């Protein structure tokens, strides 16, 4: 997709009312240090639209990015950050669940997992939770540049096995550093915009 304009249109906190958008929404979930902000910046060809931080747990809201007035990229709060109080983590969980249940425009959920490691218990729970909420997560295996090319297939198999993914689940390797995988991710997202394909390709 040719990115012409991007706008952080809505920021929803724990007590906020979710927006009633009319454009398709694509959501991104992932552990606090998995590179979610870097992915969103790479997808949108921006350097610092989504704020990256050396301090995990920075994203504490649901952020809606309007892209070309065609769709929203939705950045969900990161999970699994140990230094955040349990009470806050539970509120974030309720906020995400309220969004998954309440959005009328949510078309797909991408789940980010670090390709270097076996999925954590939090990763497995998040995958199962998204499935339980009625979506088939598309996995983005981040930090691709951190492993050797010869290791890729082995690590992807570890992710499939560790998450116990449903047959046919897509796993897309991605590097925020080299942008490898960016076009493949966009191609999958555009499949969900086929209600107006000409506009989606603009």
* pLDDT tens by residue, 113-153: 999 999 999 899 889 989 988 999 999 999 999 999 999 99
> How far is Cα 162 from Cα 165, in angstroms, rounded to an integer?
8
Instruction: Share the mean pLDDT of the chain.
Output: 87
Q: Return the structure tokens found at 109.
A: 């959920």
Beta bridge partners of 26: 73, 108
> How far is Cα 14 from Cα 68, in angstroms, rounded to an integer?
27
pLDDT of residue 53: 47
On whether the CB atoms of residues 62 and 96 are closer than 8 A, the answer is yes
Output the pTM of the full model: 0.88
Element (H, E) at 110: strand 106-114
Look at the alpha carbons of 55, 160, 86, 100 in this order and tell me if their dihedral is positive or negative. positive
Lowest mean pLDDT among 119-133, 143-157, 167-181, 185-199: 185-199
């Amino acid at each position: 997709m040719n990115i012409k304009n991007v706008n952080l249109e809505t920021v929803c906190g724990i007590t906020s009312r979710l927006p009633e958008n009319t454009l398709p929404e694509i959501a991104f979930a992932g552990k606090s240090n998995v590179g979610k902000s870097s992915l969103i910046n790479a997808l949108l060809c921006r350097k610092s639209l989504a704020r990256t931080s050396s301090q995990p747990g920075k994203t504490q809201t649901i952020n809606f990015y309007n892209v070309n007035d065609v769709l929203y990229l939705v950045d969900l709060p990161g999970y699994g950050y140990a230094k955040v109080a349990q009470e806050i983590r539970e509120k974030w969980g309720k906020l995400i669940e309220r969004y998954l249940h309440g959005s009328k425009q949510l078309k797909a959920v991408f789940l980010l997992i670090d390709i270097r490691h076996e999925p954590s218990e939090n990763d497995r729970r998040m995958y199962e939770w998204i499935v339980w909420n009625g979506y088939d997560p598309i996995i983005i295996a981040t930090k691709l540049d951190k492993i050797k090319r010869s290791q890729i297939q082995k690590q992807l198999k570890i992710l499939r096995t560790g998450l116990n993914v449903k047959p046919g689940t897509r796993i897309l390797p991605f590097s925020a550093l080299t942008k490898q995988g960016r076009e493949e991710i966009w191609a999958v997202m555009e499949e969900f915009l086929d209600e107006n394909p000409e506009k989606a390709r603009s």
